[in-house]
Structure 1
Amino acid sequence: MDTLFASLDLIEPGDLVLYHGSLTDQHGLYIALPCDCYWCRVADKRAVKGSPETRDPRYRLINPWRPELTLRCARRESITRSTACA
């Protein structure tokens, strides 16, 4: 099953990811979890009611060396699954 996720480049909770989004000073390696902020939860509920194309998962990114530093609401397009997970 892990090989399937790796081949599809799916992000699972707890995966190591590389952030390469618009916050260039924050680029680096993070642990990805589903974002649990109010706005992301509302967007997820709307996506469930709508079509699958409206689904835009967002992630909370935790710095593994400084867990108190997190990025919230990171879009899927801004992260790539780390090759360290393969």
Structure 2
Amino acid sequence: MKRHFDRDSLLRSIGLIEPGDLVTYHGSIPELHGLWLAIPCLCRLCTHADEMGLPVLRYHLIDPWEELSGPHHVRPESITRSAAS
């Protein structure tokens, strides 16, 4: 019998971060530690690195409550997909 896995459960189980996922930031800026929405960083530096074929996946973090300005160029190692998402 073939098992059925839904896409979201699979991504959650391996910890991949999709655009719009709720994440916990635990990077080098302690005052910004906490919950954020992650989207791919589309700044000029990150876009240029992508165009040159460099494997630089970075994120821009957005405050889900729209109260704070979030960090840009965040490395995947600095965020963890939230269990609350």
Structure that is richer in helix per residue: 1
In structure 1, the partner of 2:22 is 16
Unaligned regions of 5+ residues in structure 2, if any?
1-6
CA distance in 2, matches of 1:29, 1:37: 21
Encode CA deviations 1:23-64: one digit per residue, 9 max, x unaligned.
0111010000000100000111222xxxxxx52210000011
Encode CA deviations 1:8-28: one digit per residue, 9 max, x unaligned.
111100000000000011101
Larger radius of gyration: 2
Q: After the TM superposition, which parts of structure 1 deviate over 6 Å for at least 4 consecutive aligned residues? A: none
Unaligned regions of 5+ residues in structure 1, if any?
48-53
The count of residues paired between Structure 1 and Structure 2 equals 79
Q: TM-score, normalised by structure 2?
A: 0.85
RMSD: 1.3
Structure that is richer in strand per residue: 1
In structure 2, the partner of 1:63 is 63
